[in-house]
């Protein structure tokens, strides 16, 4: 087992080659580890029939076959996921696994960095759109335009329609890519300026050159 564990930190980079390797299941699973980088407290699924069920579809690639965990739409066939990450993500691919019937989503629209999207917001032009095939085993990977999804802190996935059923059912959504920690410096500086506290003046004395930056 020691040999397999070696170099786990680099898995995110070798995602492409690992996926092509025959029997490289463990490596392939590691490539689909972005679900670990989702801020689950703030994850939203709009129009889910059972509250909290949308979050269940983001799990380990190896567990995609667990058919007890799924989300089903409520009022109509639409589902909209708002997925905030705990850092910045370079999104490389998506898997969508449903039932081998008409409840399977037929179209997927991706939006980046629009937190708290509503169905009204989803009327706008997506960053990328895919026509989906039925994928009951979670084998089809939809590659994203990486240049467009290289700096994603929030991903929205809109499923506008399925293959004709009244509701849509999804068992698993896989997200492949790389994650980097977010830089929080900007936030700290904004907080300083927002609150008039004595620290501001100390700050100015230490860094007078900031006044000359236009």
Structure tokens that stand for 203 in this block: 């700050």
Q: What is the pLDDT of residue 28?
A: 75
* Least confident span in 10-19, 174-183, 199-208: 10-19
Maximum CA extent, the chain: 67
Structure tokens that stand for 18 in this block: 């690992």
Give the separation between CA 77 and CA 104, rounded to whole angstroms: 10
The 3-state DSSP class for residue 65 equals coil
Instruction: Give percent of the chain with pLDDT exceeding 70.
Output: 73
Q: What is the pLDDT of residue 4?
A: 46
For 17-168, list the strands marked E by DSSP.
44-46, 71-72, 79-98, 107-112, 128-131, 142-143, 152-159
* Least confident span in 1-15, 77-91, 174-188: 1-15
The 3-state DSSP class for residue 148 equals coil
The 3-state DSSP class for residue 89 equals strand
The per-residue pLDDT of the chain, averaged, comes to: 83
CA separation, residue 122 to residues 76, 83, 154 (Å): 15, 14, 14
Domains of the chain by range and CATH?
26-181 (2.60.120.470)
Structure tokens that stand for 139 in this block: 């084998």
Bridge partners (DSSP) listed for residue 87? 181
Q: 70 near 170, Cβ under 8 Å? A: yes
pLDDT, average across residues 4-12: 41
Q: What is the pLDDT of residue 27?
A: 72
DSSP 38: B
Confidence of residue 196 (pLDDT cuts 50, 70, 90): low
| Distance between start and end Cα atoms, the chain | 56
Between 185-194 and 199-206, two packed helices, what is the crossing angle to 10 degrees?
A: 120
Confidence of residue 1 (pLDDT cuts 50, 70, 90): low
Cα angle for residues 179, 182, 186 (degrees, 5° grid): 160
Provide the b/e sequence for 61-73 (b: ≥16 CB within 10 Å): beebeeeeebbbb
> Which residues have CB under 8 Å from 90's CB, separation 6+?
146, 149, 150, 151, 152, 177, 178, 179, 180
Cα angle for residues 123, 74, 46 (degrees, 5° grid): 45
């Amino acid at each position: 087992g020691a040999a397999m564990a070696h170099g786990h930190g680099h898995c995110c980079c070798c995602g492409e080659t690992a996926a092509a390797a025959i029997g490289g299941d463990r490596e392939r699973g590691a490539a689909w580890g972005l679900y670990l980088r989702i801020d689950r407290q703030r994850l939203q699924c709009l129009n889910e029939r059972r509250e909290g069920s949308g979050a269940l579809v983001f799990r380990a690639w190896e567990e995609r076959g667990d058919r007890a965990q799924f989300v089903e739409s409520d009022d109509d066939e639409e589902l909209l996921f708002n997925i905030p990450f705990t850092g910045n993500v370079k999104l490389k691919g998506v898997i969508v696994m449903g039932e081998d019937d008409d409840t399977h989503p037929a179209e997927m629209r991706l939006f980046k960095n629009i937190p708290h999207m509503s169905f009204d917001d989803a009327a706008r032009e997506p960053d990328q759109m895919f026509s989906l095939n039925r994928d009951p085993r979670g084998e089809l990977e939809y590659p994203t335009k990486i240049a467009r999804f290289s700096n994603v802190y929030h991903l929205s996935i809109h499923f506008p329609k399925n293959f004709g059923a009244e509701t849509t059912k999804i068992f698993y959504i896989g997200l492949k890519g790389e994650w980097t920690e977010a830089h929080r410096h900007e936030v700290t500086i904004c907080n300083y300026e927002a609150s008039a506290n004595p620290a501001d003046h100390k700050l100015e004395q230490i860094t007078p050159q900031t006044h000359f930056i236009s």
